[in-house]
Structure 1
Amino acid sequence: MQDLLLLLQGLEVELHHPGTRCSPSRLDALLHPQFHEIGRSGRAYDRETVLGFLATLSEHPPVVSEGFEVALLAPQVALLTYRSAHRQADGTLHLHTHRSSVWVQDGGEWRLRYHQGTPASSN
């Protein structure tokens, strides 16, 4: 299970930096065709909207993430949970968020099927 945790954590963190680590083709490969997201704002986003938004980002605050845990929901379905925050220029963290991602193994590769962010306290 530790190997799966490290693999999915790496894929998730890769998505935190789409402008520097993820090309459009890599984003296309990581997001499942039926990807859906509920943002920390409560708004729902489909795959095309997220791909379009990520393609426009050139810079954004670094994301700090911690507390990753994984649970196997079915043989090829895993739930990854963790906390994240954005680091501001002065080093302080803001936009603390609880995150949940459902990853599915599709054709031997893990792809993000569903993601949700929920506002969290700073502690």
Structure 2
Amino acid sequence: MTDLLAHLQALESELHHPGVRCSRERLEALLHPDFHEVGRSGRPYTRETVIAHLADSATQPDVVASAYSLQMLAPEVALLSYQSAEREPAGSLVLGARRSSVWLQTPVGWQMVYHQGTPSPTE
């Protein structure tokens, strides 16, 4: 399961890697057709909204993620949980969140089907 944790962690980090924009094609490969999200704000987002935002953003925030854990919900369904925050230019961490993503093993590989962020103190 350690290999799967590392693999899903790498896929997740593609969605918030600083200075690197995912192409629309890569985002469509990472996000399942049924993908939806509840953001840190509590607002719901559709797959298309998330893809448009990530593909069209000129800059990406410097996301610091830690404390990843993985739980198998079924043979081809994994829950990835972690803590995140954004690093400001001065170095302080803001916008802490506990995050959870549900990943499905599909014929095209692992795809995220659900993501949620819940505000939390930065650590």
- Does 2:42 match 1:63? no
TM-score for the superposition, normalised by structure 2: 0.95
Residue aligned with 1:59, SS: coil
Q: Which runs of 4+ in 1 moved over 2 A?
A: none
Q: Give aligned pairs, total.
A: 123
Flag the 1:32–1:117 CA change in 2: closer, same or farther, 3 A. Answer: same
1:18, 1:57 within 8 Å by CA — same for their partners in 2?
Answer: no
TM (norm. structure 1) is 0.95
CA drift of 1:60 comes to 2.7
- Show the 5 A alignment for 1:7-86: 7-17=7-17, 20-86=20-86
- State the identity %: 56
Partners of 2:83 and 2:18 in 1: how far apart?
19
Provide the aligned C-alpha RMSD in A: 1.3
Following the alignment from structure 1 to structure 2, what is the Cα–Cα distance between the partners of residues 28 and 120?
A: 29
Aligned residue in 1 for 2:101: 101
SS of structure 2 residue aligned to 1:63: strand
Contact 2:100 2:116 in 1 (8 A): yes
Unpaired runs of at least 5, structure 1? none
Q: How far apart, in 1, do the equivalents of 2:86 and 2:77 lie?
A: 28
Contact 1:70–1:81 (8 Å) recurs in 2: yes
Give the letter aligned to residue 25 of structure 1: E
SS of residue paired to 2:89: coil
Q: Secondary structure at the match of 1:91?
A: coil
CA distance in 1, matches of 2:79, 2:122: 23
Alpha-carbon distance between aligned partners in 2 of 1:61 and 1:13, rounded to the nearest angstrom: 12
Equivalent runs, 1:100-119 vs 2, <5 Å? 100-119=100-119
